[in-house]
Structure 1
Amino acid sequence: MKSSLDARTTEQESQDIDLAPLLDVVFILLIFFIVTTVFVKETGVEVDKPTAVSSQNLQKTVLLLAITSDGQVMYSGTNIGVAGIRSTLGHINDKDPRPLIIQADKTVTTELLVSVIDQAKLAGINNINLATVAGE
């Protein structure tokens, strides 16, 4: 009788599925997807962009700058103001030159928009674009 119990426990042990390799594969896949994910930085504010018929999509590796309807200049969720554009973008542009996209609210004055563009050019950025909504 004792030998039949030993045979049963040995049989039950051999039927168990080892989950360690499955967990290893899941963790390796998780690490792979985390490492290969491209994170796109947003400006941190919602802007009501104007409409333009000649809109085109640009690459994802760009600098994003937002001008809100109340005149705040936002970069990466922080209000840098017009005075902070030159130093912030100049430092980034020295390391990795990329195009700049300005997401200006459609109620922003032309004077403020021109000031922002001037500061960006003084920071050394040559490729400056305005974000719009594609029109018909």
Structure 2
Amino acid sequence: MNLQPNKQDRIELDLTPLIDVVFLLLIFFMVSTTFDKESLIKVDLPEATTTDEPPEQDKDVLDIVVDAEGRYYVNQLEVLNKKPETLKQAIIKAVQARRDLPVIITADANTTHQSVVIVMDVASQLGLTHMTFSAKKPVSED
């Protein structure tokens, strides 16, 4: 005669397969998801407040100018038209194989933002990542 109560085994739920499935789903969605490339320009540019003299112009600089009508000039040579492909060819010719050249973008205050964005996009497609903008000196209020 057995007087001890009958002890039942604890029922356990094995979570290992569930965790494996969750990780597989996570990896699947991470690999298959395409991300939208956000615009690289999310900067509120400040006004020039320094009165420092600009450094002397170096020959190892790519100078791109955009005038009020949206015409491009690469190292003071006018680009034939406003198409990005033509600008790309002009930059390739000016840069040759030197992809580490700094780029100075000088844009007229009345030019469209799209013209400046085209310059930045073409330069970044060619591997030119050191870009700066030139600005006028601030007017001193004396």
**Could you tell me the TM-score, scaled by structure 1's length?**
0.53
Aligned mates of 1:83, 1:55 — CA distance in 2: 37
Report which of the two structures shows the higher radius of gyration computed on alpha carbons: 2
Unmatched tracts of structure 1, length 5 or more: 1-50
Aligned mates of 2:127, 2:51 — CA distance in 1: 24
Which residue does 2:112 correspond to in 1?
Answer: 109
Aligned-pair CA distance for 1:77: 2.3
The answer to which structure, 1 or 2, has the higher relative contact order (CA under 8 A, 6+ apart) is 1
Q: Which moved more, 1:84-93 or 1:119-128?
A: 84-93
SS at match of 1:85: helix
Q: CA RMSD in A?
A: 2.4
Bigger share in helix: 1
Runs (4+) of structure 1 moved beyond 6 Å?
none
The 5 Å alignment of 1:65-84 reads 65-75=64-74, 76-80=76-80, 81=82, 82-84=84-86
Q: Which moved more, 1:73-82 or 1:99-108?
A: 73-82
Which residue does 1:86 correspond to in 2?
Answer: 88
Contact (CA 8 Å) 1:99, 1:126: kept in 2 or not? yes
Number of aligned pairs?
86
Change (3 A) 1:125 1:55: farther
Q: 1:52 aligns with which of 48, 53, 63?
A: 48
1:69-124 deviations in whole A, cap 9, x for unaligned?
01101123222433322222234434233111111001111122111110111121
Which residue does 2:127 correspond to in 1?
Answer: 124
